[in-house]
Amino acid sequence: MNVLRIFRDFVIPAVVISLIGLSFFGTTPSFGAERKSDTPLSGSTELGQFTLVDHTGRQVSQEDFLGNYLLIYFGFTHCPDVCPTGLHILTNAVELLGAKGINVIPIFVTVDPERDSPQIMKTYVNYFHPRLVGLTGNTEQIDNIAKLFGARYSKVIVSTKGNMGDSNYVLQHSESTYLVNKDGRLLATITDGVTPQALAQQILPFIGK
């Protein structure tokens, strides 16, 4: 099946590439230099400006999210398997953290703005969690936010004869989860949150719990 082959041939290598990218990032001198006392494992990294459109059609920027912890995942709504799994884990981790009194906003950023309109994002995010925020925009805006986080994605054309309906491409993309602090700084890039429990557990030290 095309989809499974794509997963094996593209998504898995993409994850390996993102892990290599992460370890490179981790050796950047400024990364350690900006360490804060309340973020013992990683320090935090300044993010640049972004402007996007949320799933209600409202224009948003980084300033709209200040004052909240964010957990951000990049993907696309046509993703057959990886994104649904990732978002299931992310939203359940948010519930586990909420039960400990830690409020985190879950965010899904599409890397497929061509197909993922605010309306499509709204239906999709509501399926996963009532508080999941869907963000889309134009290609330039999506390129920009992906670069800010070091998220990678690229389009792969597939046969229209497969089981993808009217879709003739998929996106290979990073599967990391990005933790942003209340000041809008990147606290952690988590690549191995394989269960909601594991993801929630990994987040706790970064927010001083």
Query: Which spans of this chain sit near Ni ion (rule: CB under 5 A)?
Result: 75, 79, 82-83
**Cβ distance to Ni ion smaller for residue 107 or 187:** 107
Task: State the virtual CA torsion across 189, 55, 142, 69 in degrees, nearest 10.
Answer: -30
Work out how close the CB of 136 gets to Ni ion at its nearest, in angstroms, rounded to a whole number.
15
Tell me whether residue 55 or residue 78 sits nearer to Ni ion (CB atom).
Answer: 78
CB of 92 to Ni ion, least distance (A): 17
Contact 59, 53 (CB under 8 A): yes
β-sheet bridge partners, residue 190: 177
Q: Are 177 and 91 in contact (CB under 8 A)?
A: no
Q: Which is nearer to Ni ion, 79 or 90 (CB)?
A: 79
Instruction: Kindly state the smallest distance separating residue 173's Cβ from Ni ion, in Å.
Output: 6
Going by C-beta distance under 8 Å and a sequence separation of 6 or more, which residues neighbour residue 64?
A: none
Shortest spacing between CB 17 and Ni ion, in angstroms: 15
Q: Are 102 and 209 in contact (CB under 8 A)?
A: yes
Indicate the residue among 82 and 145 with the shorter CB distance to Ni ion: 82
What's the Cα-to-Cα distance from 23 to each of 27, 75, 190, rounded to whole Å?
7, 22, 12
**Residue 82: CB minimum distance to Ni ion, A:** 4
Based on CB atoms, which residue is closest to Ni ion, 83 or 97? 83
Q: Per the structure block, which two tokens stand in for 2?
A: 């095309």
